[in-house]
Structure 1
Amino acid sequence: MARKLKTYQTSLGFFDLAVAAPSMKAALEAWGADSNLFHQGAAKESDDPDVIAATMAKPGVVLRRPVGSDGSFNEHAELPADLGDVKPTKAARKSKGSKAKKPSSRPVDKAAERKAALDYQREERRRELEREREEAARQSERERRQQAVDKAQAALNKAQQEHAKRAAAIQAEVEALEKRSQAEETRCDKEKSRLEAALRRARG
Protein backbone atom coordinates (compact mmCIF):
# COMPACT_ATOMS: atom_id res chain seq x y z
CA MET A 1 0.00 0.00 0.00
CA ALA A 2 1.29 3.47 -0.92
CA ARG A 3 2.51 5.50 2.06
CA LYS A 4 0.99 8.90 2.75
CA LEU A 5 3.18 11.77 1.56
CA LYS A 6 4.18 14.91 3.43
CA THR A 7 5.78 18.08 2.15
CA TYR A 8 9.23 19.03 3.45
CA GLN A 9 11.20 22.25 2.96
CA THR A 10 14.83 23.35 3.33
CA SER A 11 17.31 25.86 1.90
CA LEU A 12 20.49 24.80 0.11
CA GLY A 13 22.79 27.20 -1.72
CA PHE A 14 20.81 29.78 -3.71
CA PHE A 15 17.49 27.95 -3.51
CA ASP A 16 14.68 26.99 -1.16
CA LEU A 17 13.79 23.36 -1.83
CA ALA A 18 10.55 21.48 -1.32
CA VAL A 19 9.56 17.87 -1.98
CA ALA A 20 6.63 15.55 -1.31
CA ALA A 21 7.98 12.38 0.28
CA PRO A 22 6.77 9.68 2.69
CA SER A 23 9.43 10.45 5.31
CA MET A 24 12.16 12.88 6.36
CA LYS A 25 14.76 10.30 5.31
CA ALA A 26 13.26 10.13 1.82
CA ALA A 27 13.29 13.93 1.61
CA LEU A 28 16.95 14.09 2.63
CA GLU A 29 17.80 11.49 -0.04
CA ALA A 30 15.87 13.45 -2.68
CA TRP A 31 17.75 16.63 -1.73
CA GLY A 32 21.10 14.79 -1.76
CA ALA A 33 21.82 16.03 1.77
CA ASP A 34 24.92 14.64 3.51
CA SER A 35 23.60 15.36 7.02
CA ASN A 36 20.27 15.40 8.86
CA LEU A 37 18.99 18.90 8.10
CA PHE A 38 15.91 18.29 10.25
CA HIS A 39 17.99 17.70 13.41
CA GLN A 40 19.99 20.82 12.57
CA GLY A 41 16.84 22.91 12.29
CA ALA A 42 17.54 23.65 8.61
CA ALA A 43 14.59 21.64 7.29
CA LYS A 44 10.97 21.20 8.32
CA GLU A 45 7.62 19.77 7.33
CA SER A 46 5.67 22.43 5.46
CA ASP A 47 2.10 23.43 6.26
CA ASP A 48 1.86 26.05 3.51
CA PRO A 49 -1.08 24.95 1.32
CA ASP A 50 0.44 26.44 -1.84
CA VAL A 51 3.74 24.63 -1.29
CA ILE A 52 1.92 21.40 -0.44
CA ALA A 53 -0.21 21.67 -3.60
CA ALA A 54 2.87 22.28 -5.77
CA THR A 55 4.81 19.31 -4.38
CA MET A 56 1.81 16.95 -4.40
CA ALA A 57 1.39 17.72 -8.11
CA LYS A 58 4.93 16.37 -8.66
CA PRO A 59 5.60 13.92 -5.80
CA GLY A 60 9.21 12.90 -5.37
CA VAL A 61 10.44 15.74 -7.61
CA VAL A 62 12.56 18.41 -5.88
CA LEU A 63 11.02 21.85 -6.52
CA ARG A 64 12.97 25.10 -6.17
CA ARG A 65 12.59 28.83 -5.79
CA PRO A 66 15.17 31.59 -5.14
CA VAL A 67 16.30 31.48 -1.52
CA GLY A 68 14.43 33.82 0.80
CA SER A 69 11.65 34.56 -1.71
CA ASP A 70 7.98 33.77 -1.25
CA GLY A 71 7.35 32.91 -4.91
CA SER A 72 6.00 29.64 -6.16
CA PHE A 73 8.08 26.46 -6.23
CA ASN A 74 8.99 25.06 -9.65
CA GLU A 75 11.07 22.20 -10.99
CA HIS A 76 13.40 24.73 -12.67
CA ALA A 77 13.91 28.01 -10.79
CA GLU A 78 15.90 31.12 -11.66
CA LEU A 79 18.80 32.23 -9.48
CA PRO A 80 18.05 35.03 -6.99
CA ALA A 81 17.79 38.40 -8.79
CA ASP A 82 20.58 40.07 -6.76
CA LEU A 83 23.26 37.69 -5.54
CA GLY A 84 25.13 40.64 -4.02
CA ASP A 85 22.53 41.19 -1.33
CA VAL A 86 23.22 39.75 2.07
CA LYS A 87 21.35 36.51 2.41
CA PRO A 88 18.64 36.52 5.07
CA THR A 89 19.62 34.67 8.17
CA LYS A 90 17.97 31.43 9.13
CA ALA A 91 16.02 33.24 11.82
CA ALA A 92 14.89 35.94 9.38
CA ARG A 93 13.76 33.35 6.89
CA LYS A 94 11.94 31.48 9.63
CA SER A 95 10.26 34.72 10.71
CA LYS A 96 9.33 35.56 7.13
CA GLY A 97 8.09 32.05 6.59
CA SER A 98 5.92 32.19 9.68
CA LYS A 99 4.29 35.43 8.48
CA ALA A 100 3.65 33.99 5.05
CA LYS A 101 2.02 30.86 6.42
CA LYS A 102 -1.68 30.54 5.96
CA PRO A 103 -3.75 28.04 7.84
CA SER A 104 -4.86 25.32 5.47
CA SER A 105 -8.57 25.63 4.82
CA ARG A 106 -8.60 23.07 2.02
CA PRO A 107 -10.48 19.83 2.78
CA VAL A 108 -8.42 16.68 2.84
CA ASP A 109 -8.76 14.96 -0.54
CA LYS A 110 -8.14 11.27 0.06
CA ALA A 111 -8.20 10.45 -3.65
CA ALA A 112 -5.63 13.18 -4.35
CA GLU A 113 -3.46 11.89 -1.49
CA ARG A 114 -3.59 8.35 -2.90
CA LYS A 115 -2.77 9.62 -6.39
CA ALA A 116 0.15 11.66 -5.07
CA ALA A 117 1.48 8.65 -3.17
CA LEU A 118 1.25 6.47 -6.28
CA ASP A 119 2.90 9.19 -8.37
CA TYR A 120 5.69 9.32 -5.79
CA GLN A 121 6.17 5.55 -6.07
CA ARG A 122 6.37 5.87 -9.87
CA GLU A 123 8.93 8.69 -9.55
CA GLU A 124 10.96 6.63 -7.08
CA ARG A 125 10.88 3.68 -9.50
CA ARG A 126 11.92 5.95 -12.38
CA ARG A 127 14.88 7.24 -10.34
CA GLU A 128 15.80 3.69 -9.32
CA LEU A 129 15.74 2.55 -12.96
CA GLU A 130 17.88 5.56 -13.88
CA ARG A 131 20.37 4.65 -11.15
CA GLU A 132 20.40 1.04 -12.39
CA ARG A 133 21.03 2.20 -15.98
CA GLU A 134 23.86 4.45 -14.82
CA GLU A 135 25.39 1.63 -12.77
CA ALA A 136 25.07 -0.76 -15.74
CA ALA A 137 26.82 1.82 -17.93
CA ARG A 138 29.57 2.25 -15.33
CA GLN A 139 29.93 -1.55 -15.07
CA SER A 140 30.12 -1.86 -18.85
CA GLU A 141 32.81 0.84 -18.93
CA ARG A 142 34.74 -0.92 -16.14
CA GLU A 143 34.56 -4.20 -18.08
CA ARG A 144 35.64 -2.49 -21.31
CA ARG A 145 38.62 -0.93 -19.55
CA GLN A 146 39.51 -4.26 -17.91
CA GLN A 147 39.39 -5.98 -21.29
CA ALA A 148 41.71 -3.31 -22.70
CA VAL A 149 44.06 -3.76 -19.71
CA ASP A 150 43.99 -7.56 -20.11
CA LYS A 151 44.70 -7.27 -23.85
CA ALA A 152 47.60 -4.87 -23.28
CA GLN A 153 48.98 -7.08 -20.49
CA ALA A 154 48.74 -10.17 -22.72
CA ALA A 155 50.56 -8.33 -25.52
CA LEU A 156 53.27 -7.22 -23.06
CA ASN A 157 53.64 -10.76 -21.69
CA LYS A 158 53.91 -12.18 -25.22
CA ALA A 159 56.53 -9.58 -26.18
CA GLN A 160 58.54 -10.36 -23.05
CA GLN A 161 58.37 -14.09 -23.78
CA GLU A 162 59.49 -13.53 -27.39
CA HIS A 163 62.36 -11.36 -26.17
CA ALA A 164 63.39 -14.00 -23.63
CA LYS A 165 63.40 -16.70 -26.36
CA ARG A 166 65.45 -14.57 -28.75
CA ALA A 167 67.85 -13.54 -26.03
CA ALA A 168 68.32 -17.22 -25.08
CA ALA A 169 68.95 -18.14 -28.73
CA ILE A 170 71.51 -15.34 -29.11
CA GLN A 171 73.21 -16.40 -25.87
CA ALA A 172 73.38 -19.99 -27.15
CA GLU A 173 74.95 -18.72 -30.39
CA VAL A 174 77.46 -16.64 -28.41
CA GLU A 175 78.43 -19.67 -26.31
CA ALA A 176 78.80 -21.83 -29.44
CA LEU A 177 81.03 -19.20 -31.06
CA GLU A 178 83.16 -19.01 -27.94
CA LYS A 179 83.62 -22.80 -28.01
CA ARG A 180 84.57 -22.67 -31.70
CA SER A 181 86.97 -19.82 -30.96
CA GLN A 182 88.62 -21.76 -28.15
CA ALA A 183 88.86 -24.86 -30.35
CA GLU A 184 90.45 -22.82 -33.11
CA GLU A 185 92.96 -21.34 -30.67
CA THR A 186 93.89 -24.85 -29.47
CA ARG A 187 94.24 -26.15 -33.05
CA CYS A 188 96.35 -23.15 -34.07
CA ASP A 189 98.68 -23.58 -31.07
CA LYS A 190 99.21 -27.27 -31.91
CA GLU A 191 99.83 -26.52 -35.59
CA LYS A 192 102.25 -23.75 -34.68
CA SER A 193 104.19 -26.05 -32.36
CA ARG A 194 104.37 -28.76 -35.06
CA LEU A 195 105.62 -26.34 -37.71
CA GLU A 196 108.17 -24.75 -35.37
CA ALA A 197 109.54 -28.21 -34.58
CA ALA A 198 109.79 -29.01 -38.28
CA LEU A 199 111.58 -25.72 -38.86
CA ARG A 200 114.09 -26.48 -36.15
CA ARG A 201 114.79 -29.92 -37.62
CA ALA A 202 115.33 -28.43 -41.06
CA ARG A 203 117.86 -25.98 -39.71
CA GLY A 204 119.57 -28.52 -37.58
Structure 2
Amino acid sequence: MPRTLKRKLKTYQTSLGFYDQAVAAPSMKAALDAWGARSNLFHQGIAKETDDPDIVAATMASPGVVLRRPVGSDGPFTEHSELPTDLAGDEGKTKARSRPKKRPARRAAKSSRKIGDQDARKAAAAFAREEQRRDSARRKEEAARARRDKAVAAAQAALDKAKRDHQARVDEIDAERAVLDERAGAEDARWHKQRIKLEEAVRRARG
Protein backbone atom coordinates (compact mmCIF):
# COMPACT_ATOMS: atom_id res chain seq x y z
CA MET A 1 0.00 0.00 0.00
CA PRO A 2 1.45 3.41 -0.91
CA ARG A 3 2.74 5.42 2.02
CA THR A 4 0.32 8.28 1.18
CA LEU A 5 -2.64 6.09 2.15
CA LYS A 6 -1.30 5.74 5.70
CA ARG A 7 -0.92 9.47 6.32
CA LYS A 8 -3.76 11.64 7.52
CA LEU A 9 -4.67 14.43 5.14
CA LYS A 10 -4.69 18.04 6.25
CA THR A 11 -6.06 21.12 4.55
CA TYR A 12 -3.64 23.85 3.51
CA GLN A 13 -4.47 27.29 2.22
CA THR A 14 -2.55 30.03 0.38
CA SER A 15 -3.07 33.03 -1.92
CA LEU A 16 -1.44 33.01 -5.35
CA GLY A 17 -2.19 35.56 -8.03
CA PHE A 18 -5.92 36.26 -8.33
CA TYR A 19 -7.00 33.32 -6.18
CA ASP A 20 -7.07 31.91 -2.69
CA GLN A 21 -6.14 28.24 -3.08
CA ALA A 22 -6.73 25.25 -0.83
CA VAL A 23 -5.81 21.59 -1.07
CA ALA A 24 -6.07 18.47 1.07
CA ALA A 25 -2.63 16.88 1.30
CA PRO A 26 -0.66 14.70 3.75
CA SER A 27 2.10 17.30 4.23
CA MET A 28 3.16 20.87 3.54
CA LYS A 29 5.56 19.61 0.87
CA ALA A 30 2.74 17.75 -0.87
CA ALA A 31 0.64 20.91 -0.78
CA LEU A 32 3.48 22.96 -2.28
CA ASP A 33 3.84 20.35 -5.05
CA ALA A 34 0.11 20.49 -5.75
CA TRP A 35 0.24 24.29 -5.98
CA GLY A 36 3.31 24.12 -8.23
CA ALA A 37 5.15 26.45 -5.84
CA ARG A 38 8.88 26.89 -6.38
CA SER A 39 9.53 28.29 -2.89
CA ASN A 40 8.37 27.45 0.60
CA LEU A 41 5.20 29.52 0.96
CA PHE A 42 4.81 28.35 4.54
CA HIS A 43 8.17 29.80 5.57
CA GLN A 44 7.23 33.01 3.77
CA GLY A 45 4.05 33.27 5.80
CA ILE A 46 1.66 33.16 2.83
CA ALA A 47 0.47 29.57 3.31
CA LYS A 48 -0.94 27.83 6.35
CA GLU A 49 -2.85 24.80 7.58
CA THR A 50 -6.53 25.57 8.09
CA ASP A 51 -9.23 23.89 10.14
CA ASP A 52 -12.06 25.98 8.68
CA PRO A 53 -14.85 23.33 8.43
CA ASP A 54 -16.17 24.63 5.09
CA ILE A 55 -12.73 24.61 3.49
CA VAL A 56 -11.82 21.25 5.02
CA ALA A 57 -15.08 19.69 3.77
CA ALA A 58 -14.53 21.05 0.25
CA THR A 59 -10.92 19.86 -0.01
CA MET A 60 -11.61 16.47 1.53
CA ALA A 61 -14.28 15.91 -1.11
CA SER A 62 -11.55 16.28 -3.79
CA PRO A 63 -8.23 15.37 -2.13
CA GLY A 64 -5.14 16.52 -4.00
CA VAL A 65 -7.17 18.76 -6.29
CA VAL A 66 -6.35 22.46 -5.93
CA LEU A 67 -9.55 24.39 -5.20
CA ARG A 68 -9.83 28.12 -5.75
CA ARG A 69 -11.92 31.17 -4.99
CA PRO A 70 -11.34 34.85 -5.87
CA VAL A 71 -8.65 36.28 -3.62
CA GLY A 72 -9.99 38.10 -0.59
CA SER A 73 -13.51 36.66 -0.91
CA ASP A 74 -15.29 34.43 1.59
CA GLY A 75 -17.08 32.32 -1.01
CA PRO A 76 -16.78 28.56 -1.40
CA PHE A 77 -13.66 26.92 -2.81
CA THR A 78 -14.28 25.18 -6.15
CA GLU A 79 -12.14 23.50 -8.79
CA HIS A 80 -13.09 26.09 -11.43
CA SER A 81 -13.39 29.55 -9.91
CA GLU A 82 -14.25 32.81 -11.64
CA LEU A 83 -11.88 35.76 -11.56
CA PRO A 84 -12.34 38.38 -8.83
CA THR A 85 -15.19 40.74 -9.68
CA ASP A 86 -13.00 43.84 -9.29
CA LEU A 87 -11.09 42.80 -12.43
CA ALA A 88 -14.20 43.45 -14.53
CA GLY A 89 -13.82 47.25 -14.08
CA ASP A 90 -15.97 49.84 -12.38
CA GLU A 91 -19.19 48.17 -13.50
CA GLY A 92 -18.11 44.92 -11.94
CA LYS A 93 -17.14 46.76 -8.76
CA THR A 94 -20.54 48.43 -8.62
CA LYS A 95 -22.30 45.10 -9.00
CA ALA A 96 -20.04 43.53 -6.43
CA ARG A 97 -20.80 46.32 -3.93
CA SER A 98 -24.53 46.23 -4.58
CA ARG A 99 -24.77 42.44 -4.34
CA PRO A 100 -25.70 41.42 -0.78
CA LYS A 101 -23.32 39.00 0.82
CA LYS A 102 -24.64 35.54 1.44
CA ARG A 103 -25.02 34.77 5.08
CA PRO A 104 -23.39 31.54 6.23
CA ALA A 105 -26.63 30.06 7.50
CA ARG A 106 -25.31 26.55 8.07
CA ARG A 107 -21.79 27.34 9.17
CA ALA A 108 -22.49 26.47 12.77
CA ALA A 109 -23.89 23.12 11.73
CA LYS A 110 -20.84 22.37 9.58
CA SER A 111 -18.49 23.31 12.39
CA SER A 112 -19.49 20.18 14.25
CA ARG A 113 -18.75 17.95 11.28
CA LYS A 114 -15.69 15.77 11.60
CA ILE A 115 -13.96 13.54 9.11
CA GLY A 116 -14.42 9.94 10.16
CA ASP A 117 -11.78 7.23 9.76
CA GLN A 118 -13.52 5.74 6.72
CA ASP A 119 -13.83 9.16 5.07
CA ALA A 120 -10.20 9.88 5.92
CA ARG A 121 -9.10 6.63 4.27
CA LYS A 122 -11.17 7.41 1.19
CA ALA A 123 -9.73 10.91 1.07
CA ALA A 124 -6.17 9.59 1.38
CA ALA A 125 -6.80 7.07 -1.40
CA ALA A 126 -8.27 9.81 -3.59
CA PHE A 127 -5.27 12.02 -2.87
CA ALA A 128 -2.94 9.19 -3.89
CA ARG A 129 -4.80 8.83 -7.19
CA GLU A 130 -4.66 12.57 -7.82
CA GLU A 131 -0.97 12.62 -6.91
CA GLN A 132 -0.30 9.78 -9.36
CA ARG A 133 -2.25 11.63 -12.07
CA ARG A 134 -0.29 14.81 -11.41
CA ASP A 135 3.03 12.92 -11.39
CA SER A 136 2.09 11.22 -14.66
CA ALA A 137 1.24 14.57 -16.24
CA ARG A 138 4.52 16.01 -14.97
CA ARG A 139 6.50 13.09 -16.39
CA LYS A 140 4.77 13.48 -19.75
CA GLU A 141 5.57 17.19 -19.76
CA GLU A 142 9.20 16.50 -18.85
CA ALA A 143 9.43 13.85 -21.59
CA ALA A 144 7.94 16.28 -24.13
CA ARG A 145 10.40 18.97 -23.00
CA ALA A 146 13.28 16.48 -23.34
CA ARG A 147 12.16 15.62 -26.88
CA ARG A 148 11.96 19.32 -27.76
CA ASP A 149 15.40 19.96 -26.28
CA LYS A 150 16.82 17.00 -28.23
CA ALA A 151 15.24 18.23 -31.47
CA VAL A 152 16.55 21.75 -30.88
CA ALA A 153 20.03 20.40 -30.12
CA ALA A 154 20.00 18.27 -33.29
CA ALA A 155 18.82 21.20 -35.42
CA GLN A 156 21.44 23.50 -33.88
CA ALA A 157 24.16 20.88 -34.46
CA ALA A 158 23.11 20.58 -38.12
CA LEU A 159 23.18 24.36 -38.48
CA ASP A 160 26.62 24.61 -36.86
CA LYS A 161 27.98 21.85 -39.13
CA ALA A 162 26.55 23.55 -42.21
CA LYS A 163 28.21 26.82 -41.14
CA ARG A 164 31.55 25.05 -40.71
CA ASP A 165 31.23 23.32 -44.11
CA HIS A 166 30.34 26.64 -45.75
CA GLN A 167 33.29 28.41 -44.14
CA ALA A 168 35.62 25.58 -45.23
CA ARG A 169 34.43 25.96 -48.84
CA VAL A 170 34.83 29.74 -48.67
CA ASP A 171 38.37 29.33 -47.30
CA GLU A 172 39.16 26.85 -50.09
CA ILE A 173 37.82 29.23 -52.74
CA ASP A 174 39.81 32.10 -51.21
CA ALA A 175 42.94 29.97 -51.33
CA GLU A 176 42.32 29.08 -54.97
CA ARG A 177 41.61 32.75 -55.74
CA ALA A 178 44.95 33.72 -54.14
CA VAL A 179 46.75 31.18 -56.33
CA LEU A 180 44.97 32.48 -59.43
CA ASP A 181 45.75 36.07 -58.48
CA GLU A 182 49.41 35.13 -58.10
CA ARG A 183 49.41 33.38 -61.49
CA ALA A 184 47.66 36.37 -63.07
CA GLY A 185 50.25 38.72 -61.59
CA ALA A 186 53.09 36.56 -62.88
CA GLU A 187 51.46 36.44 -66.31
CA ASP A 188 51.05 40.23 -66.37
CA ALA A 189 54.73 40.64 -65.50
CA ARG A 190 55.84 38.14 -68.16
CA TRP A 191 53.65 39.77 -70.80
CA HIS A 192 54.89 43.24 -69.88
CA LYS A 193 58.52 42.18 -70.48
CA GLN A 194 57.68 40.32 -73.67
CA ARG A 195 55.60 43.21 -75.01
CA ILE A 196 58.44 45.67 -74.47
CA LYS A 197 60.88 43.41 -76.33
CA LEU A 198 58.51 42.81 -79.22
CA GLU A 199 57.59 46.49 -79.54
CA GLU A 200 61.32 47.32 -79.60
CA ALA A 201 61.84 44.72 -82.32
CA VAL A 202 58.99 46.30 -84.34
CA ARG A 203 60.59 49.77 -84.07
CA ARG A 204 63.97 48.43 -85.18
CA ALA A 205 62.40 46.64 -88.11
CA ARG A 206 60.75 49.86 -89.27
CA GLY A 207 64.12 51.52 -89.31
Give aligned pairs, total.
187
Out of 166, 171, 193, the residue aligned to residue 186 of structure 1 is: 193
Contact 2:54/2:110, CA 8 A, preserved across alignment: no
Is 1:56 aligned to 2:60, yes or no?
A: yes
Tell me, in whole angstroms, the C-alpha distance in 1 between the residues paired with 2:167 and 2:30: 56
1:6 and 2:10 matched: yes
| Cα drift, residue 193 of structure 1 | 5.5
Cα shift at 1:136 = 1.7
Give the Cα–Cα distance (whole angstroms) in 2 for the partners of residues 27 and 152 of structure 1. 44
Q: How far off is 1:56 after superposition?
A: 1.4
Once the two structures are superposed, what CA deviation does each residue of 1:53-75 show, in whole Å capped at 9, x if it has no partner?
22112111111223444432210
1:65 corresponds to? 69
Q: What is the CA–CA distance in structure 2 between the aligned matches of 1:66 and 1:159, rounded to whole Å?
A: 58
TM-score (norm 1): 0.73
1:22 Cα deviation after fit: 0.9
CA distance in 1, matches of 2:28, 2:109: 22
Counterpart-to-counterpart distance in 2, 1:110 and 1:102 = 20
C-alpha contact 1:16 1:67 (8 A) present in aligned 2: yes
- Counterparts in 2 of 1:187 and 1:33: CA distance versus 1, 3 Å: closer
1:43 aligns with 2:60: no
Q: Equivalent of 2:22, from 18, 22, 34? A: 18
**38 and 198 in structure 1: CA distance in 2 versus 1, 3 angstrom threshold:** closer
| Root-mean-square deviation (Å) | 3.1
- Secondary structure at 2:78's aligned position in 1? coil
Query: CA distance change for structure 1 residues 105 and 198 in 2, over 3 Å: closer, same or farther?
Result: closer
What's the CA shift for 1:9? 2.2
Which shifted more, 22-31 or 125-134?
22-31
| Partner Cα distance (1:35, 1:123) in 2 | 22
Unpaired segments of 5 or more residues in structure 1?
Answer: 86-96
Equivalent residue in structure 1 for 2:83, among 69, 79, 88 = 79
From 91, 105, 128, the counterpart of 1:121: 128
Change in 2 beyond 3 A, CA 1:101/1:29: farther
Q: Bigger radius of gyration, 1 or 2?
A: 1
